[in-house]
Structure 1
Amino acid sequence: MSAQPILKVQRLTKTYRTAAGPLTVLHEVSFELEAGASLAVVGPSGSGKTTLLGLCAGLDGATTGSVALAGEALEPLNEDGRARVRNEHVGFVFQNFQLIPTLTARENVLVPLELRGEGGREAEAQALLTRVGLGERGDHYPVQLSGGEQQRVALARAFINRPKILFCDEPTGNLDAETAHAMVELIFGLNRERGTTLVLVTHDPELAKLCGRVLRLRGGAVVA
């Protein structure tokens, strides 16, 4: 008997109401992902990649279709319920880092635990900062860090709650080539070490090739 997929997406559709009428940005997308697998979501701008990521992570609700994350269906849940599932199972790395400017690097890493009401894990946060090469920068604020360093803080933050699945939205999009290469090595290295499932949206074909599977979108639909 096969293990339950960590992510199961069935006929997922997202339609927005606009002044010009309904706009469907995602149309009946289906796929499954096993625990520990890696998936790249690729396609031209406007093909629905980031929308798909948000629906899979429970950041938004679908118009029709279903998402099961770590065995839990997201459709019946309200916003608080989806937030609980995210806090329990999900890590995020965004293109724009999304660090809190008034918190130090270490405090930013600890934010997901604060949201869960968990304290006393400063040593783990420091260990993660060391793992991403920022062991000496824990007391620095985001403004004192380069873009690449901020993205590494964001990666450490994503792993602090030991997520079952990591969602990355263009994680190297704002980084120079050398820094991007280092970031990719960290993402896949932590992914292997911790057995985390990886779903990443990227325009970079070389980055997509590193994933076990590639999902290609065009016009909101899966084409390959």
Structure 2
Amino acid sequence: MSILRVDNLTKTYPSGGQPLTVLHAVSFDLQAGDTFAIVGPSGSGKTTLLGLCAGLDRATSGSVWLNGIQLDNLSEDQRAAVRNEHVGFIFQNFQLLPTLTALENVLVPLELRGQRGAAQTALELLDRVGLAGRAGHYPAQLSGGEQQRVSLARAFANRPALLFADEPTGNLDPDTSERVVNLLFDLNREAGTTLVLVTHDLELAAKTQRTLRLRGGKVVEDISSNNQIVI
């Protein structure tokens, strides 16, 4: 069964009385454990596509199935419940809660699910990303790379079926980026998670099994890592 299926997805916004289509009839199908990059210039529709795939927004037309669940007709609360159950997120600006420590940030998704032994699980995840010794520090006391590693630990806390990463190295220097990327792919491989990655970094995209290139909201290339054209 597909873990993520996108069928003829289109998104249009009203703009000065005229419809503005930012995504045109995009389709693809991913299996469990796939790694997938979405690339393209600014304004090409990458983040819009990511948001639709994750159920953060609803398409104008077309369909999304996330782990077998069709998102199209679900309410906002129902889509949020699907995300909480099946999805992890990593963002360019980390999006850690500033009033919570590193450990508490990782604990949040575990506690929302009422998981037993949540504190121990959170500490083990921080240890996995090399930050067990920084568990009591607040985001403002951590470097950018450390904050992104906390967000990695948080993203994998629920062992998500899908991980959506939006420019995860966009605010990091090259050395820190490399460390975060290695952790991301290691954790992803260990958990068997499907990774959907939006990036401007073509070197990062090349690490995935498949790359979808957008321009003007349209798919202009869909190619696997062995240079086989998918479409």
Query: TM-score, normalising length from structure 2?
Result: 0.94
SS of the aligned residue for 2:190 comes to: helix
Answering whether residue 3 of structure 2 is matched by residue 6 of structure 1, we say: yes
- Larger mean CA deviation between 194-203 and 11-20 belongs to 11-20
Aligned residue identity for 2:10: T
Q: Which residue identity is paired with 2:168?
A: P
1:170 maps to 167
The counterpart of 1:150, out of the listed 142, 147, 151, is 147
Q: Could you give the per-residue CA deviations for residues 70-91 of structure 1, whole angstroms, max 9, x where no partner exists?
A: 0000011000110011011000
1:42 corresponds to: 39
Q: Aligned with 1:189: secondary structure?
A: helix
Name 1:67's counterpart in structure 2. 64
1:184 aligns with one of 166, 181, 185: 181
The 3-state SS of whatever aligns with 1:223 is strand
| Alpha-carbon distance between aligned partners in 2 of 1:126 and 1:186, rounded to the nearest angstrom | 16
In structure 2, what is the equivalent of residue 122 of structure 1? 119
Give percent identity, aligned residues only. Answer: 69
Distance in 2 between the 1:218 and 1:114 partners? 40
After TM superposition, give the deviation of residue 19 of structure 1 in Å: 2.1
Cα distance in 1 between the residues matched to 2:195 and 2:28? 14
Offset, 1:112: 1.4
Task: Kindly provide the amino acid, as one letter, of the partner of residue 127 in structure 2.
Answer: T
What do the CA deviations read for 1:55-107 (whole angstroms, capped 9, x no partner)? 00011111100000000000110001100110110000000100000000010
Classify the secondary structure of the residue corresponding to 2:134. Answer: coil
CA RMSD of aligned residues (A): 0.9
Alignment length (residue pairs): 221
Query: Could you say which residue in structure 2 is the equivalent of 1:203?
Result: 200
Aligned to 2:229: none
Deviations 1:1-34 (A, max 9, x none): xxx1100000001111122421111110000001
For the pair 1:99 / 2:96, whether they are aligned, the reply is yes
How far apart in 2 are the matches of 1:20 and 1:44? 26
Task: State the Cα distance separating 1:117 from its structure 2 match.
Answer: 3.8
Q: Whole-Å Cα distance in 1 between the matches of residues 54 and 27 of structure 2? A: 15
Q: Does 1:159 align with 2:164?
A: no
**How many angstroms does 1:116 deviate by?**
2.8
Cα displacement (A) at 1:119: 5.2
- Of the three residues 10, 23, 26, the one matched with 1:26 is 23
Q: Could you say which residue in structure 2 is the equivalent of 1:82? A: 79
Query: Who is 1:221 aligned against?
Result: 218
Further displaced range: 38-47 or 105-114? 105-114
Residues 113-165 of structure 1 show CA distances to partners (whole Å, capped at 9, x for unaligned) of 23334453111100100110101000100000001000000010000011011
| Paired letter, 1:129 | L
In 2, the alpha carbon distance for the partners of 1:57 and 1:65 equals: 14
Give the C-alpha shift of residue 110 in structure 1. Answer: 1.2
